[in-house]
Amino acid sequence: EAGVAQSPRYKIIEKRQSVAFWCNPISGHATLYWYQQILGQGPKLLIQFQNNGVVDDSQLPKDRFSAERLKGVDSTLKIQPAKLEDSAVYLCASSLVRQGRETQYFGPGTRLLVL
Amino acid sequence: AQSVSQHNHHVILSEAASLELGCNYSYGGTVNLFWYVQYPGQHLQLLLKYFSGDPLVKGIKGFEAEFIKSKFSFNLRKPSVQWSDTAEYFCAVNRRLYNTDKLIFGTGTRLQVFP
């Protein structure tokens, strides 16, 4: 079974530029998550999708971050404009629910450096 | 504040030593508990999980964890570590909030094993 795919793996941009990340979840997983992992910390949820609808975006800095999952499969996360403090690893995860119990599976992440 | 605490930020062991990494959470009610591992340069992988039943859970690579409800703890153990166990370990708690599942991570514990 293929895992969660993400691209690019690395991105270096200057502050105030824009950047986009792509995620392809595990086939059949209805729920998709974007997390931000700052160095030395655990992942923090940015946004959660159920199929193509947003379930929770309460932690997403909406003035600069946006995300979409138009067809309920792939998703993109965009930052515009980027700030220095956005330097982090952006993780995508998808989840499988069995008997009401959910397990999340993570992609390799995109490491973003904002200069 | 509701949180997941990992008390050991950095653990250094010699091969064959025993390992115990602490994890405490502050949520009441029903929770699902996870340990994820991140090997150098790799993505987060599920090590083990607890949903219900036997509080002693066995995972991959000889790891196990014990859920102690009265102590709100889910400590990770391995009787004899190997150099290949060098990685970052994250405890995570999944709880249902406002009809959605939320996975909250601890800050992680970096384990270094020397031959």
d(CA A27, CA B7) in angstroms, rounded, equals 36
With beta carbons under 8 A apart, name residues in chain B contacting A3.
43
First and final CA of chain A: distance in angstroms?
Answer: 37
d(CA B65, CA A96) in angstroms, rounded, equals 22
With b for 16 or more beta-carbon neighbours within 10 A and e for fewer, the A18-33 pattern comes to ebebebbbbeebebbb
Name every residue in B having a CB less than 8 A away from some CB of A. Answer: 4, 32, 34, 36, 42-46, 49, 51, 90, 92, 94, 100-103, 105-108
Could you read off the pLDDT of B71-104 as tens digits, one per residue? 999 999 999 999 999 999 999 998 776 666 788 9
The pLDDT assigned to B61 comes to: 94
Q: Stretch A19-39: mean pLDDT, rounded?
A: 94
